[in-house]
Structure 1
Amino acid sequence: MDIIKPTTEDNCKTYKIRWLILILFVLYSASNSLQWIQYSIIANVIVKFFDVSSVAVDWTSMIFMILYIPFVFPASMILDKFGLRKTVLLGTIGTTIGTWIKVASIRPDLFWVSFLGQSVVALSQVCILSVPARLAAAWFGPTQVSSACSIGVFGNQLGIALGFLIPPWVVSDGTTDEVTSGLYKLFIGTAIFSSAITICTFLLFKDTPPTPPSMAEVLKKTESDTSFKASLIALGSNRNFILLILGYGINVGIFYAISTLLNQIILNYYPGNAVDAGQIGVLIVLAGMVGSVVCGVVLDKTRKYKETTLAVYILSLIAMVLFTFTLNSGIIIVYVTSAFLGFFMTGLLPVGFELASELTYPEPEGTSAGLLNAVVQVFGIVLTSGYSIIFNKLNDLWANGIMCSFLVVGCVLIALISSDLRRQAAHNKKFIDIQTPP
């Protein structure tokens, strides 16, 4: 029996294989993102083993943001021109190559090889972050597209959570031989996992279904092709989209800053509680994973894209205020407020993707998502650096207060977005005259 089996009898069909496609992407995304924090979470061990500075270790995570900015545009063009399958294969092959390079770097004088492998993995990330919205639109119907997008984003968060948890378990501080053994286990395990995902993707991942899942996709297929440059120009002149990417960039950039400096923030109030700092980081990610899925379901149920985005943004601001003023209230309270912060800040990820798709339809989702993520990386670098300077020169209260002020600005930007959603109009279109050229 053919694995592609339609589950509806309507003109726009969905197929059972869509869930396999989505699961493969989630695992592929996780195999990449789990390596983002792989060195930094055991920085003390890496500094000692490779005899490098902590700044060098910080760069193993910063390189993900740095490389994304210039390469997101060619990656978006590849997604638009060559489709999902080729883009995903390119990313998963690159991730696998990078992981095996790191396996060959486990020697005290080969940090540069390890950094090279990490850079290859980071470069492969550009073939991931723009995919969830495109995959959801290509394979899932109107009532599931937001949930599918949120699950796609969930893969990235799953990988980050694993990146926080696994390295400290496998690699502990000790003799050179003990650290070497631990790093071998960590890197080889990651490489085998990534290789298995690559093989499965090559054999099972498909580009698009035989029949579009929604009227919006039907309309897109019947419209004339537009160049990548034309899409960029259209997006750049879209007022609502510009407001969204600025507001979205502020929110997610602040989340990156808090995550990166969480260890320093917690130890400032609770010296010696490094383990709690790590566990709070995991809790933030896990709460964010739940938030991503919940927000996706809410979008599917309500179709209130701008309203949901604004509500989540306001709740993110409230969570940031609570986090700021309860840091000295006891470690248990910090756990609770951190989970609240992660739930809403990360919950904004799929909501932002979906609102971008609605505001920019019929422009390719890969292009809009790529621009969205590029701005996020810029804000992430700027806000992380700014937070670090303010934190060290003044204190965390000043740093968090300024971040809260930025979130207020972000709320205003989102509120200024018009509610005129182009894709929703296509979803509601009852009749369409499709003419096939002779």
Structure 2
Amino acid sequence: VLHGQRWYILAAFSLLSFQQCLFWITFSPVAQATEKYYGVDVDAVDLLLNWGPIIFVPVLPCVVNMSARKGALPHIVRTGALLCAMAAVLRLLPTWMPDTLLGQYANTRGIALVHLGQILNAAVGPMVMAPPPNLSATWFGEKERTTATAVAVMANQLGAAIGFFAPWVAPSAANIPNLLYAHLVLAGLTLVMVLVYFPEAPPSPPSPSASMAAALPDAHRAGVVKEFWTALRNPSFLTLALSGGIISGVYNAWSASLDTILPESLYDPKQAGWLGFASVMAAIIGGTSIGPLVDRIPSLQHKHKRLILFIMLACSGVSLLFTLSLPISGVSQDGVLPTSFVASGAIVLVMGLLQGAALPLYYELGVELTYPVSETMSAGFIVQFNNIAALTMLFVMPDVNKNSINAMLTFTALGTALMIFFVSERYRRVEAETASRAGGGGGPRGPGLGAARAAGDGYMALPDAVGDA
């Protein structure tokens, strides 16, 4: 049975995810104004952004551990909303406090408090990036899960896109507080929404797998280490997670650095900025479009591997066109193909659409390959590889000739596409739900589904959990 409350839950979660990314990118689009307002250099402003991936890596295991408890999603969401609200307050404290109270930080207007706020907000990243498949499995039916996952995932990227408009709110250093006040209002709204209503689950489960999960005692969901090793020993899932995490992380780092990658002789900083914004918006459109298509068109259902492979091969080809249209170290100083701002914009838009469309498919196929491992665990692998790849890319890019970075993206896209060939596609969750229905209405623990998950070693007992993946 589907309940209307699911859309409120999705909206509240998506708003939290949106604001987390919006807060994360706060100061980068207004870097010069931030430097003047706080009296710091560009490295300090860069660190405000870099706290995101730095804090994400160690916090993610804690979030996965929290999610192992039955009905943990509301606690994770409320914790995330509270941390975001605290971050919004901390970032405003230097504005409220007189210099005499700031002591040794008076000359930099309490930038240490701003850093602390960014750290708290960074800790929310895993709380909104790992749970989307779990939220969709708990609240949405079988023909809505990909759509719900796509919306929850893309809400985070929408925060980055809207963040590009910060200069309109804070055109000068004196306007920085206006931007922070706007964020404080948003944080307060989100906190109220999740505190007022965000239950563990709907009144009745929306699918057979959700029914079974609701019927399990909490002890069956406590084996975090066992889940981790089960997922890690699944070669198909590990290949899929590496493919999705690597290309997503590399692409995100690339699109965020277009203003420094693109040659100034062809594009000015404003044009490069608009290309970056277009890539993010295209990814959001691609991600939110693929969900309804897969959920509603029977010929696309349970074809995730083929869809991902097609999308990534297409992305490789489009990326190659972009690379050949720009200078390439050791090959051409002018580009092999003719180019223009319009042509580059079109290519970037297509790349964004393809990348955005692939991400929800990676999430959902990861859940199917690892079932009955928790959805948050499988998503956690993907987002962790994403952040590690992005950190690595950001670390090596300063030492790589900028005319070679586009080629790096092309080879990464091709390499991760080829990895998909080695994924053995299997829809374990669908198989379990089909077995449950074949049991003749035996309830959430009917033959097949209930027995598979309750027998023997409990939660990890689904046959062939590793063997033929």
User: Normalising by structure 1, what TM-score?
Assistant: 0.90
Q: Mapping of 1:137-176 within 5 angstroms?
A: 137-165=137-165, 167-173=166-172
Equivalent in 264, 269, 272 of residue 274 of structure 1: 269
Q: Distance in 2 between matches of 1:290 and 1:305?
A: 18
Greater mean alpha carbon deviation, residues 408-417 or residues 132-141:
408-417
Q: Structure 2 CA distance, aligned partners of 1:202 and 1:388?
A: 44
Q: Confirm whether residue 188 of structure 1 aligns to residue 181 of structure 2.
A: yes
Alignment match, 2:83: 94
Aligned-residue sequence identity (percent) comes to 23
In the other structure, the counterpart of 2:132 is: 132
Which residue in 1 is equivalent to 2:460? none
Match of 2:203 in 1: 210
The residue correspondences of 1:289-300 to structure 2 (distance < 5 A) are: 289-300=284-295
1:421 paired to 2:423:
no
Extract structure 1 runs of 4+ deviating beyond 6 A: none
Q: Which residue of 1 aligns with 2:412?
A: 406
C-alpha distance after superposition, 1:66-90 (max 9, x if no partner): 1111110111111221521111000
Counterpart of 1:361?
371
Q: Which amino acid is 2:7 matched to?
A: W
* Equivalent residue for 2:29, pick from 5, 17, 41: 41
* 8 A contact 1:284–1:339 mirrored in 2: yes
The amino acid that maps onto 1:172 is: P
2:231 and 2:237 in contact (8 A); partners too: yes
1:326·1:333 contact (CA, 8 Å) conserved in 2? no
Structure 1 position 267, deviation (Å): 5.2
1:51 matches 2:39: yes
SS in 1 for 2:26: coil
Residue 426 of structure 1, CA deviation: 2.1
Structure 1 residue 256 and structure 2 residue 252: aligned? yes
Q: Please tell me whether the aligned partners of residues 267 and 274 of structure 1 are also in contact (alpha carbons under 8 angstroms).
A: no
Structure index of larger Rg? 2
Residue 315 (structure 1) shift: 1.9
CA drift at 1:222 = 4.6
**Is 2:376 the partner of 1:373?**
no
Q: Answer whether contact 1:40 1:57 (CA < 8 A) is retained.
A: yes
2:111 equivalent to 1:111? yes
Deviation at 1:42, TM superposition (A): 1.5
Query: Hey, what's the Cα distance between the residues in 1 that align with 2:58 and 2:308?
Result: 28
The match for 2:191 is 198
Whether contact under 8 Å (1:65, 1:381) holds in the other structure is: yes
Stretch deviating more after TM superposition (80-89 or 50-59): 50-59
The 1:348/1:269 distance shift into structure 2, 3 A limit, reads farther
Alpha carbons 1:256, 1:384 under 8 Å: kept: no
Mapped pair 1:85 → 2:78 = no
Distance 1:242 1:23 in 2: 31
What is aligned with 1:29? 17
Cα offset, 1:226, TM superposition = 4.7
After superposition, where does 1:68-83 map in structure 2 within 5 Å?
Answer: 68-81=56-69, 82-83=71-72
- Aligned partner of 2:310 in structure 1 is 311
CA distance in 2 between counterparts of 1:260 and 1:55 reads 17
Q: CA deviation at 1:387?
A: 2.8
Tell me how many residue pairs correspond in the alignment.
Answer: 413
SS at match of 2:201: coil
Q: 1:246 to 1:189 in 2, by over 3 A?
A: same
Select between 95-104 and 402-411 the one with higher mean Cα deviation.
Answer: 402-411
Report deviation, 1:431: 2.1
Per-residue displacement from partner, 1:339-398 (whole Å, max 9, x unpaired)? 1111111222211111111111111101111121111110111122223321xxx332x2
CA distance in 1, matches of 2:12, 2:221: 29
CA contact (8 A) 2:261 2:405 kept: no
- Distance across 2 between alignment mates of 1:426 and 1:105: 55
Cross-structure match for 2:438: 431
Q: Hey, what's the Cα distance between the residues in 2 that align with 1:193 and 1:56?
A: 25
> Structure 1 residues 89 and 251 mapped into 2: Cα distance closer, same or farther (>3 Å)?
same
Change (3 A) 1:155 1:91: same
Tell whether the 8 Å contact from 1:288 to 1:347 is kept in structure 2 after alignment. Answer: yes
Identify which range, 313-322 or 282-291, moves more after superposition.
Answer: 313-322
Whether the 8 Å CA contact 1:160–1:285 is kept in 2: the answer is: yes
Distance in 2 between the 1:379 and 1:362 partners? 27
1:3 corresponds to which residue?
Answer: none
Partner Cα separation in structure 2 for residue 133 and residue 354 of structure 1: 7
What's 2:234 paired with?
238
The answer to whether the 8 A contact 1:164-1:281 is kept is: no
TM-score by length of 2: 0.84
Q: Kindly report the root-mean-square deviation, in angstroms, between the aligned alpha carbons of the 2 structures.
A: 1.9
- 2:102 corresponds to: none
Mapped partners of 1:347, 1:55: distance in 2 = 34
Cα 1:395–1:159 change in 2 (3 A) is closer
- Partner letter of residue 101 of structure 1? L
Conservation of the 8 A alpha-carbon contact between 2:287 and 2:357? yes
- Give the secondary-structure state (helix, strand or coil) at the position aligned to 1:15: coil
